[in-house]
Amino acid sequence: MFLAIDVGNSNINLGVWDGDKFHGPWRMITNNKRTSDEYGLFIKQLLKENEIDTDKLKSVIISSVVPNIMYSLRRAIEKYLCLKPLIVGPGSKTGLAIKAENPKEVGADRIVDAVAAYEIYGGPVIVIDFGTATTYDVVNDKGEFIAAITSPGIQISADALWSRAAQLPNIEIEKPKTILARNTITSMQAGLVYGYIGQVEYIVKEIKKELNMNFIKVVATGGLANIIFGETKYIDDYDMLLTMRGLKLIHEKNIDQINKDK
C-alpha cells in the first residue's frame, strides 16, 4: 500500500493505492507557507479519518510542479510517515521518451498524465488536463512525448475577467442553456464555456492535421474537465483519476529504487 501525491499550482491531491484498489482522492489547497509539521499532521489526520493505517504504507510517490513546497512536504513525509518519498523527475523510470527540446522543462504532472494515457488508452494519444493551466500533450504510437501546448485554465480566464473589469462579478463556471445570453452572468458563462469548447476543438483539430492522424485518441482529465467533456465530440474519454493511475504506473516502474532507498 502506498500514498500518491500530486502537487498542483492550486491544489494538492492525495490518494492511497492498495493493490488495484484506490482510496481517495482527497484535496488540500497548495500553500507554500505551510511548515513540514503542518503538512505532516494534516496528512496523518486525513488518512486516519479515512481509516487508512499509516503503519501499512510501504512507500510514497510525489509529482509536483511547485518547487517551493517540496522541502516542507518531503520532510513531513520523512518525519510523520517515516518514509523516503520518490519524487517524479529526472532519473525516474517512466517508459516514455521525452522528445522536447529541453526534457527537464516538461512538468512532472504532464509526464505522469502522459504515462497513464499511453499505457491505459494506447498511442497515439492527446492528453488534455483542465487544471490551473489547460495543457495538451501528445504521445505517439512509439511512446514518445512529442508535443505540448499550454493555455490559461478556465478558472484563470474567469478570474482575470472579473478582476480586471470593475462591473463584472465573480461567477460560477457552468454552461448556460443557450449561447444567446441576456444578462451579465450568463454572458460571461457563455463566453468562458463555449469559448473553451471552441479552443479545445480547434487545438485538437490542428494537432490531428499537422500529424496527419485523424484517428488519434483524446483523453481529458483535471478538475474542470467535466464542464467540457460531453459538450464536444473531440474528447473521447474523461478519466478523473488519470494522474493517480499514472503515479501508480511510475511507482511500479521504480519499485526497485524505492525498495533500495528504504
Burial class from Cβ neighbours inside 10 Å (0-12, 13-18, 19+) for residue 23 reads middle
User: Contact 96/145 with Cβ under 8 angstroms?
Assistant: yes
Task: Name, in order, each residue with C-beta under 8 angstroms of 27's C-beta and a sequence gap of 6 or more.
Answer: 11, 12, 13, 14
User: Contact 124/136 with Cβ under 8 angstroms?
Assistant: no
What residues form DSSP beta bridges with 98? 145
113 is catalytic: no
CA-based Rg of the chain, rounded to a whole angstrom? 19
Task: Name, in order, each residue with C-beta under 8 angstroms of 199's C-beta and a sequence gap of 6 or more.
Answer: 134, 151
d(CA 105, CA 117): 20
How is residue 69 annotated by DSSP?
Answer: G
Q: Residue 138: left (phi > 0), alpha (psi -120 to 50), or beta?
A: beta
Dump strand ranges (E) for 30-172: 59-64, 86-87, 97-98, 125-130, 133-139, 144-152
* Catalytic-role residue among 6, 109, 137, 239: 109
User: Taking Cα atoms as reference points, which of 49, 60, 51 lies closest to residue 12?
Assistant: 60
Do you know the residue count of the chain?
A: 262
Active site residues: 109
